[in-house]
Structure 1
Amino acid sequence: MRRVVPVVPLLAVGAFAIGTDTFVVAGVLPEVARDLDVSVASAGWVSTVFALAYAVAAPVLGAVTGRWERRTVLLLSLAGFTVGNVASALAPDLPLLLGARVLTAVSAALYVPAASASAAALAAPERRGRAMAVVLGGLSAATVAGVPFGTWLAADLRWQATFWLLAALGAGCAAAVSVGLPAMRLPAGPGLAARLAPLRQGRVGAAVLTTALFMTGGYLALTYVGALLAPATDGDGTLLAVLLLVFGVPGVVGTVLGGRATDRWGARPVLLASVAGLALVLATLPLTRQALLPATLAMAAWGLTAMATQPAQQHRLFTVAPGSGPLLLSLNSSATFLGIALGGFLGNRVLRHGGEHAVDLLGPVGAALCVLALGAALLGARPSRAGDDREPPDQGGTGREPGRPAPRAAVRR
């Protein structure tokens, strides 16, 4: 009997803290820019640097800590996360704030891959998509509760209050994981060179590229959502918080539906449908951002389609190379944050050099990148020897030989 499955929701608690910290910057960016006396485009580096540090750190730290006990890894991550947010709240200028965000990102890079791989390894094969969706649900729940509340707090008080709140949340999550999660070891992971080796496989490289492209497309616009939605909100931070709430609630629905649809129909069709929907939403942003009602509908559709991609793509990577599933999740996490970083950087370039109507270009440029993501997904969609990108029922994505029992994580109370 799998005694550890009921604690999977605890992993989502940590993901909620990490997700809030990752996504809330888009909502508080106008306040950061005003307080530090920089442009919104310059303040966008707060998001870009965080994401880039995460993308670089995730595979390196995954290799270094692969043999460590999982609860220790998660607690170290949450401790660094707490300290990083305290430093962010105390930062008096943009360079020091960027340094604090690097510390926070490196700590976060330890958490999400470890939590996702643990949930996948500890769930029954037929429920693996749903187990991943529970952890990812913590990220999407952050967009529902954490990001709108943090945005409202920054508008009502100051942006530093948001980071103080995140520091307290990180400390609370660490306490919950310490008390509720059993000590657990997964099979020892490979080194960094071995972690990167699967990228030489065409299907794996195309899958990781798909993640990077659709995340770049989405975050090219989402990083600057305050400026993007200014015509609809008239610069009102509280109204922006409401629109971010509208983004987040369908995001949770998208994560849940994406996990269930992946278990039923396989990762490929769910991924293609959700990325195509995301491209359509982004392409129409110049029209929908002009007034409150169409902006509200656009944000709901944006959250639904964007978050539905996550369980499908994680499941696809976990099964495209069954013997390398956990390390591919780490690579996917790096690709996700590389996409966020590139989105912020490209958005900065568009705003600086796009002319009078530069903000209107953010959505269509992002949509074009999502179309490229569809091409990468189709390029990597050639059936494997198993004939499908569903998980082979006799292997469960573990890479074991047929007929041999699946390795289980070593758990002790």
Structure 2
Amino acid sequence: MSRTKPSLPVLPVLAVGAFAIGTDTFVVAGVLPEVAGDLSATLTDAGWVSTLFALTYAVLAPVLGALTGRLERRTVLVISLLVFALGNAASALAPGLGALLAARVATAAGAALYIPAASASAAALSAPERRGRAMAVVLGGLSAATVAGVPFGTWLAADLGWRSTFWLLAGLGVLCAAAVAGGLPEVRLPAAPGIAARLAPARDPRVLFTVLTTLLFMTGGYLALTYIGAVLAPVTGGDGGELALLLLVFGVLAVAGTTLGGRATDRWGATPVLLASVAGLAVVLGTLPLTRDRTLSAALAMAAWGVTAMMTQPPQQYRLFAVAPASGPLLLSLNSSATFTGISLGGFIGGRVIADGGADEVDLLGPLGAGLAVLALVTAVIGVRVGQRGPGAGEDAEPAAGTGASAAEPAGKRG
């Protein structure tokens, strides 16, 4: 059996699609006041535009991953991008809050299908020793959204109205769909006999502990990140410009962390990179109350936070894909679901912690998040040990393992 490498534009094109979805995910927070005012809704009601998107993504990612696991990847990617584009066009045209919420559900469905399929395609088209870097390229699109997409989308909404942001995302979705259709070779993962066989790996203890690990450290991180304005208030004094600069530091280093995580996974293996990044995240979160009083210490904390938070994703995706390449889309979608569930839980729990609005409560967000990161370390270690003892111990998700070496072949190249 032979493998052909993807043409040069393929991985960047997949990353641009992820960039569009990442922008769509996070930009809504910056345009909520405009949405609420235009649609005659309260800010609290308008907040469901963001919350419903995340919840829909979390629920649909594994469902759609299971249902489309046997389909050719290029077809799945094009369909997901077109659904994403149509959802954003419907969002831009929404006459009221109810219509906007329905449009966001459709948009989230496209997004939930795209990210796991893009990651699985990148992994399948790459040699095992470069799989971490390939996945990091796709994830880099999500990271880049926090640097460029979200600020630009927020600025565009302020200048031309919030609907213009959704029109821009709809257009980007269509362009990405055309690029994928014309530039990506056909990719088929080894087909499991039926949906029951494709679902079977989801019960693997390695998968359960890996997904739980993602849920824990994402919840821990978003306890504080959701309310970063309040967390950094002592150093910014409520100055939006200074807060934006600190978030820019976070975003730039998040992109670097994604790339570093992919390369480190290829070189040293998924498990050591995961443990080091989650441990680093725990340290950053635990020391947040000590770093938020001075500009330099806050900037260093945001930089370290961006690196450690995004270094976690390439090894997690690598570990899941190596468990069962034939069920790669489903397993990666479970990780995506855990990611978005963690985002929602972090915001919800953090809101309950700071309900009284006092500085002492805000100071608790970082240490509580650090505690969840420590729990994530525990579940990661348990997952590794279970995998070493289990029947698939020889197929643990490390670069040295050959699992999935021929996980996918471009159509027409299989012999």
Q: Does the C-alpha gap of structure 1 residues 320 and 182 become closer, same or farther in structure 2, counting only changes over 3 Å?
A: closer
After TM superposition, give the deviation of residue 357 of structure 1 in Å: 4.4
Deviations 1:331-380 (A, max 9, x none): 21222222222222223333436656443333232222111111111111
Q: Does the C-alpha gap of structure 1 residues 81 and 339 become closer, same or farther in structure 2, counting only changes over 3 Å?
A: same
Residue 409 of structure 2 aligns with an amino acid whose one-letter code is: R
After TM superposition, give the deviation of residue 101 of structure 1 in Å: 2.2
* Aligned pair partner of 1:164 in 167, 177, 192: 167
Where does 1:10-409 land on structure 2 (aligned, <5 Å)?
Answer: 10-28=13-31, 38=42, 44-91=47-94, 94-154=97-157, 158-188=161-191, 193-321=196-324, 324-352=327-355, 357-382=360-385, 383-384=388-389, 385-386=393-394, 389-393=397-401, 395-397=402-404, 408-409=409-410
Rounded Cα–Cα distance in structure 2 between residues aligned with 1:155 and 1:200:
47
Deviations 1:305-330 (A, max 9, x none): 11100111111222245664443222
8 Å Cα contact 2:22/2:146 also seen in 1 = yes
**TM-score (normalised: structure 2):** 0.86
Matched with 2:4 is 2
8 Å Cα contact 1:59/1:330 also seen in 2 = yes
Deviations 1:14-71 (A, max 9, x none): 111111112333444566567766456x655433321221111112112222333322
Deviations 1:1-20 (A, max 9, x none): 61525322221121111111
Residue 408 of structure 1 aligns with an amino acid whose one-letter code is: E
8 Å Cα contact 2:122/2:138 also seen in 1 = yes
8 Å Cα contact 2:89/2:166 also seen in 1 = yes
Deviations 1:186-217 (A, max 9, x none): 33356555444334332221111001111111
Q: CA RMSD in A?
A: 3.0
Answer with 232-241 or 176-185: which moved more. Answer: 232-241
Residue 394 of structure 2 aligns with an amino acid whose one-letter code is: A
Determine helix, strand or coil for the equivalent of 2:394: coil
Rounded Cα–Cα distance in structure 2 between residues aligned with 1:197 and 1:91:
40
Answer with 262-271 or 381-390: which moved more. Answer: 381-390
Residue 50 of structure 2 aligns with an amino acid whose one-letter code is: S
8 Å Cα contact 2:262/2:314 also seen in 1 = yes
Determine helix, strand or coil for the equivalent of 2:113: helix
After TM superposition, give the deviation of residue 176 of structure 1 in Å: 2.2
Q: Does the C-alpha gap of structure 1 residues 168 and 295 become closer, same or farther in structure 2, counting only changes over 3 Å?
A: farther
Q: Does the C-alpha gap of structure 1 residues 163 and 397 become closer, same or farther in structure 2, counting only changes over 3 Å?
A: same
Rounded Cα–Cα distance in structure 1 between residues aligned with 2:159 and 2:368:
33
Answer with 309-318 or 98-107: which moved more. Answer: 98-107
Paired residue total: 404
After TM superposition, give the deviation of residue 156 of structure 1 in Å: 5.4
Q: Does the C-alpha gap of structure 1 residues 243 and 84 become closer, same or farther in structure 2, counting only changes over 3 Å?
A: farther
Q: Does the C-alpha gap of structure 1 residues 379 and 3 become closer, same or farther in structure 2, counting only changes over 3 Å?
A: closer
Rounded Cα–Cα distance in structure 2 between residues aligned with 1:93 and 1:364:
40
After TM superposition, give the deviation of residue 299 of structure 1 in Å: 1.9
Answer with 244-253 or 19-28: which moved more. Answer: 19-28
Residue 182 of structure 1 aligns with an amino acid whose one-letter code is: P
Residue 11 of structure 1 aligns with an amino acid whose one-letter code is: L
**TM-score (normalised: structure 1):** 0.86
Rounded Cα–Cα distance in structure 2 between residues aligned with 1:91 and 1:282:
39
Matched with 1:401 is none
Rounded Cα–Cα distance in structure 1 between residues aligned with 2:290 and 2:250:
17
Rounded Cα–Cα distance in structure 1 between residues aligned with 2:112 and 2:377:
27
Residue 84 of structure 1 aligns with an amino acid whose one-letter code is: G
Deviations 1:162-187 (A, max 9, x none): 33332232222223223322344333
Determine helix, strand or coil for the equivalent of 1:72: helix
Matched with 1:402 is none
After TM superposition, give the deviation of residue 274 of structure 1 in Å: 0.7
Q: Does the C-alpha gap of structure 1 residues 124 and 46 become closer, same or farther in structure 2, counting only changes over 3 Å?
A: same
Determine helix, strand or coil for the equivalent of 1:381: helix
Determine helix, strand or coil for the equivalent of 2:71: coil
Determine helix, strand or coil for the equivalent of 1:269: helix
Deviations 1:365-412 (A, max 9, x none): 22221111111111112125328642454x3435xxxxxx76523159
Determine helix, strand or coil for the equivalent of 2:384: coil
After TM superposition, give the deviation of residue 108 of structure 1 in Å: 0.4
Q: Does the C-alpha gap of structure 1 residues 188 and 235 become closer, same or farther in structure 2, counting only changes over 3 Å?
A: farther
Deviations 1:243-279 (A, max 9, x none): 3321111111111111111111111111011111112
Structure 2 unaligned regions, length at least 5: none
Residue 409 of structure 1 aligns with an amino acid whose one-letter code is: P
8 Å Cα contact 1:15/1:135 also seen in 2 = yes
8 Å Cα contact 2:257/2:311 also seen in 1 = yes
Rounded Cα–Cα distance in structure 2 between residues aligned with 1:43 and 1:242:
26
Rounded Cα–Cα distance in structure 2 between residues aligned with 1:101 and 1:349:
25
Answer with 215-224 or 124-133: which moved more. Answer: 215-224
8 Å Cα contact 1:82/1:171 also seen in 2 = yes
Residue 219 of structure 1 aligns with an amino acid whose one-letter code is: Y
After TM superposition, give the deviation of residue 280 of structure 1 in Å: 1.9
